């Protein structure tokens, strides 16, 4: 097993030169995310690329790790100062005695889709069930149709980013709600978007939960079909039962209290990036990103970004009711977490984004 320092060293090798020059004063602030090319984490990439952190007078190094769960590990180990990952990690970590909290919410949706592979019989069965239940949802409740769809996942091989990752937790939630026990399907950890795409195309999984732009790439190529779509705010609420918080910036409380000024500056830079996303077209946003982020399929990236824009927060605030929904999802997923293990009021703060222009 790699040590915290080794994990960070590997992540720094993946660090993209986003054009922000070092700031003369102050120690560098290292922010890690589980995949810099994933659109859910775009605000942090933009804040660096557009020089917003530099404008605030802070030296922020944005680096990429293999998965969100690894980002949490690095944060607790003190190898990084901030994590750009899913809000559910703050609840999970608090239940295990770690005091971390979200300071800026980046997305009001899960930003994920469960896709079925068309290369396997199991994947085609899932895809067929999803089509049938979509038709049925016109005449019955969404909850009834959704639950029936996921029952077909019993016995299937399902790809996730990693054990303990948000993709793993949401997969467990969807199946548990459909009455499928954890031992009735096989979880396949794949870590990167590249391995997800390969697994779909080679037929080594029946389905998997992915972010954009991988989802659009797989759907456009014809290698996959949508089973569960949680990429928009409305669809996330339909599947998960209420307001949601996906990607966010979360910190150790001890670091935040010792660096309140720097925390406020990061929040300002990130909310500025959110405003940029909300006031520019997908093509205009892609124009300021380096090729390493966009990849070889520029048109596909722009399509994926355009479909994802509406899920980004406008102001960085925690949506009302979102913590309660996330807690319910975690408990239903069979993570072992219960309401008495978590004080939701301590898992986030709006202090640093409230009242920003």
Q: Give pTM, 2 decimals.
A: 0.88
pLDDT reported for residue 24: 40
For residue 294, the model assigns a pLDDT of 94
Task: List the domain boundaries for the chain.
Answer: 4-109+245-346, 112-230
The residues facing 229 across adjacent strands are: 113
pLDDT of residue 11: 41
Which residues make beta-bridge pairs with 249? 84, 104
Note the pLDDT of residue 6: 40
112-230 homologous superfamily: Periplasmic binding protein-like II (3.40.190.10)
Q: Assign residue 30 a region: left if phi > 0, alpha if psi is -120 to 50, beta otherwise?
A: beta
pLDDT of residue 317: 98
For domain 4-109+245-346, the question of CATH label 3.40.50.980 is answered with no
pLDDT tens digits along 120-153: 999 999 888 876 655 444 433 444 445 677 889 9
Domains 4-109+245-346 and 112-230 fall in the same CATH topology: yes
Give the separation between CA 353 and CA 339, rounded to whole angstroms: 27
| β 60-64/29-33 pair status | parallel
One-character DSSP codes across 133-185: HHHHTTTS-HHHHHHHHHHTTTT-EEEESSTTSHHHHHHHHHHHHTT--GGGS
Beta bridge partners of 85: 248
Q: What is the pLDDT of residue 341?
A: 83
The DSSP H or E segment spanning 117 is: strand 112-117
- What integer pLDDT is reported at residue 69 of this predicted model? 64
CB 188 within 8 A of CB 199: yes
In this prediction, the residues of the chain whose per-residue pLDDT falls under 70 are: 1-26, 66-69, 131-147, 355-357
Tokens 């703060």 sit at which residue? Answer: 349
- Going from the C-alpha of 173 to that of each of 7, 92, 118, 282, the distances in angstroms are 29, 15, 24, 32
Predicted pLDDT at 18: 46
Residue 10 confidence (pLDDT): 39
What is the structure's pLDDT at 22?
41
């Amino acid at each position: 097993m790699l040590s915290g320092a080794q994990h960070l060293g590997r992540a720094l090798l993946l660090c993209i030169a986003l054009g922000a020059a070092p700031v003369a004063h102050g120690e560098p602030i290292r922010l890690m995310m589980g995949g810099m090319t994933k659109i859910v984490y775009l605000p942090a990439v933009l804040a660096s690329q557009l020089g917003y952190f530099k404008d605030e007078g802070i030296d922020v190094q944005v680096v990429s790790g293999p998965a969100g769960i690894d980002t949490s590990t690095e944060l607790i180990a003190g190898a990084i100062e901030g994590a750009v990952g899913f809000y559910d990690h703050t609840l999970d970590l608090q239940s295990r005695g770690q005091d971390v909290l979200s300071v800026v919410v980046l997305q009001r949706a899960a930003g994920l889709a469960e896709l079925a592979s068309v290369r396997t019989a199991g994947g085609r069965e899932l895809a067929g069930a999803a089509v049938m239940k979509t038709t049925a949802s016109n005449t019955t409740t969404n909850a009834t149709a959704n639950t029936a769809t996921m029952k077909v996942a019993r016995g299937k091989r399902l790809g996730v980013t990693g054990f303990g990752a948000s993709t793993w937790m949401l997969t467990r939630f969807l199946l548990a709600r459909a009455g499928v026990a954890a031992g009735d399907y096989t979880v396949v950890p794949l870590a990167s978007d590249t391995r997800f795409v390969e697994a779909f195309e080679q037929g080594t999984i029946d389905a998997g939960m992915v972010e954009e732009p991988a989802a659009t790439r797989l759907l456009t190529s014809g290698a996959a079909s949508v089973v569960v779509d949680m990429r928009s705010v409305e669809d996330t609420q339909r599947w998960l039962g209420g307001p949601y918080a996906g990607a966010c910036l979360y910190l150790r409380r001890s670091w935040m209290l010792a660096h309140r000024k720097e925390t406020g500056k990061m929040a300002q830079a990130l909310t500025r990036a959110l405003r940029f996303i909300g006031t520019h077209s997908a093509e205009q946003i892609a124009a300021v990103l380096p090729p390493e982020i966009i990849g070889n399929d520029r048109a596909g990236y722009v399509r994926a970004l355009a479909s994802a824009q509406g899920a980004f927060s406008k102001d960085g605030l925690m949506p009302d009711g979102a913590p309660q929904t996330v807690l319910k999802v975690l408990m239903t997923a069979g993570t072992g977490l219960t309401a008495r293990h978590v004080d939701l009021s301590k898992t986030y703060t709006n202090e640093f984004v409230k009242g920003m222009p």
